[in-house]
Each structure stands twice: as C-alpha cells, then as structure tokens.
Amino acid sequence: MLTVVTHSGRFHADEVLALAVLRLILKSDINVIRTRDERIIKKADYVVDIGRIYNPEKNHFDHHQEGGAGVRRDGIPYASFGLVWKKFGENLCGSKEAAAIIEKKIVEPVDANDNGVSLCDCPKDITPYRFQDVIFSLSPTWKESEHDLDAAFLEAVSIAERVLLREIKKAQDSAEGSKIVLQMYTEVSDKRIIVMDTHYPYEEVTEKLPELLFVIYPDSQGNGWKAEAVPNNIKTYTPRKKFPAIWAGKEGDELARISSVSDASFCHNARFLVVAKSKEGAIALAELALTSED
C-alpha cells in the first residue's frame, strides 16, 4: 500500500485537495499519515505540504522551503495543491483544456489563499464564501477539542474528491462544448449571432469570439427559445450589447406588441436575455437588438 504523508495539526484546503487528487489518480487504497516526524516523511511514497522539498520526480510537493516552489506567470505562487495538479491534473482530466479550466477555477484560488494572496477586492465587512471556507468549516472549533482532527481531515478529503469529480466532469464537457462553439463561430457568415441546437458553454472562449453579440439556443425545459447577450468576459455579466431598453421587464402580449415579434414572451429586466416561443422568434429579437441604439 502506498503511503502519503502530510502535516499533522490544523488542515487547510491546499493539502486536502492535493490528497483528493492523489486518491483519484492512484485509484487504490493509500495509507494517509499526518505527522511531522522526519523519519516517517523520508520513507513516504508521496509527501504533501511538508518536508520543505519540491521534487515532482520523487513525489515531494511542498512549498514552505526558502524561495517557495515557483510562481505562475500571473503572479500566483504555487501551494501543495497546485504542485500536485501541475503533475497530475491533465492526466486526471483527460485533456489539457479541461485541466486548465480547473486550474483557473479552483487550483489557483486555493493556492493564492494559502500563500496570503488576495484575489477579491471586497468591502471590508464582506468576503465571498470560498471552497477553502467549506473545508475549514469541517475542522473542529476551540470548543471541540475532543473531536478527532485526523478523522475530520479524511472527511474533508472525501468531500473534496466528490467536488473535484463533478468539477472535472463539468470542465470536460465545457471544453468539448467550447470547441463546438468555436467551430460554429468560424463557419457562420454573420459572426454577431450564433444559433445553437443546445446551450453549449461559450463563456470560457468569449475572448476568442470578438464579434459575437448574441447566442440563441432552445430552453432546456422545452419552453421556447432564448437569445442571450454575450458578456464581455467570463468574470462579468456586462453584455457587449444589451437588448433594447424599451423591452426591459416586458413579457407576453406587451413584449410582442413593442418588439413586433408575435411570439416574444419575456425580456429580463437587466436586458441580457429574451425568450420567444420559436427559434425564428428568438432570431428576430436578436436581429432587432443589433440595430437598436440603447
């Protein structure tokens, strides 16, 4: 049985997720030891977040040594999760594209937090609830000293495994869908509108679709067709072009009358989404929006 060693005491999201990756990639029972005993560390098959050595060939993944274990091009230093993901992420995901999505979505934020790098400029009394907060919630409080810290750690690893598996599945499907959208964009003559046969995830490749303003796709529940305004980038809901202000919040007969599209049924008050009963209706609404000035 392979032995994986990480530090004892309070646990953090970076080593929890690093262990989750190793359990998923090794696909076998592993003996997890939480210790600071140098003799045990030296005998381990994998060492995570302890040992002051980063050597991926020997499966040592620590970042606490002098000088750390490297910094990404975007300035985010590596923590143990990032070091393990750097070696095994692509293999676990099955593609470079899916691994890159997980890297940006989960790995870098966790590594940044572990290295004291803030990624959020929020009001001082408000902070986002992050995945590392979920992990921290599983550790005992000062009034729960009787709780088994090692058992809590393994519970956290199991939860992290389940989350990673779902996020990997979503990343795999997103990468596949993005390729389809890119192909559609390449082939369509008017690149301002793409009509899709399902709601493919285009948001990951928005920056590669500079002319695209609206995407049209069928509602997943069979309630007509949607036309959606493309955001400037994946981090914002700000559309490149909104639907007309006069449509905002309108629905049913009122929207049909104002827009002159007979089966128009809804326009979101924020003007990033409209719905029609037919594909033709959704296309007509998007085409009208192209020429609107507001």
**Do residues 84 and 49 lie in contact, with contact meaning Cβ atoms separated by under 8 Å?**
no
Q: Which pLDDT tens digits describe the chain residue by residue (294 residues)? A: 899 999 998 899 999 999 999 999 998 788 999 999 999 999 999 999 999 999 999 999 999 989 999 999 999 999 999 999 999 999 999 999 999 999 999 999 999 999 988 887 777 777 788 889 999 999 888 888 767 888 999 999 999 999 999 999 999 999 999 999 999 999 999 999 999 999 998 888 888 899 999 999 999 888 899 999 999 877 777 899 999 999 999 999 999 999 999 999 999 999 999 999 999 999 999 999 999 888
Phi, psi dihedrals of residue 290, rounded to the nearest 5°: -60, -35
Beta partners for residue 251, in sequence order: 266
pLDDT of residue 145: 75
CA distance 263 to 256: 6
Residues 6+ apart with CB under 8 A from 237: 231, 270, 272
Residues 6+ apart with CB under 8 A from 55: none
Residue identified by tokens 């400029």 is 121
Distance of CA 89 to the CA centre of its chain: 14
pLDDT of residue 206: 85
CA distance 176 to 138: 34
**Do residues 145 and 162 lie in contact, with contact meaning Cβ atoms separated by under 8 Å?**
no
Residue identified by tokens 């809590």 is 152
Of 50, 40, 32, which Cα lies nearest the Cα of 157?
32
Beta partners for residue 188, in sequence order: none
Beta partners for residue 216, in sequence order: 195, 227
Phi, psi dihedrals of residue 250, rounded to the nearest 5°: -85, 155
pLDDT of residue 141: 87
pLDDT of residue 36: 94
**Do residues 68 and 77 lie in contact, with contact meaning Cβ atoms separated by under 8 Å?**
yes
pLDDT of residue 6: 96
With H, G, I as helix, E, B as strand and everything else as coil, classify residue 243. coil
pLDDT of residue 119: 82
pLDDT of residue 218: 96
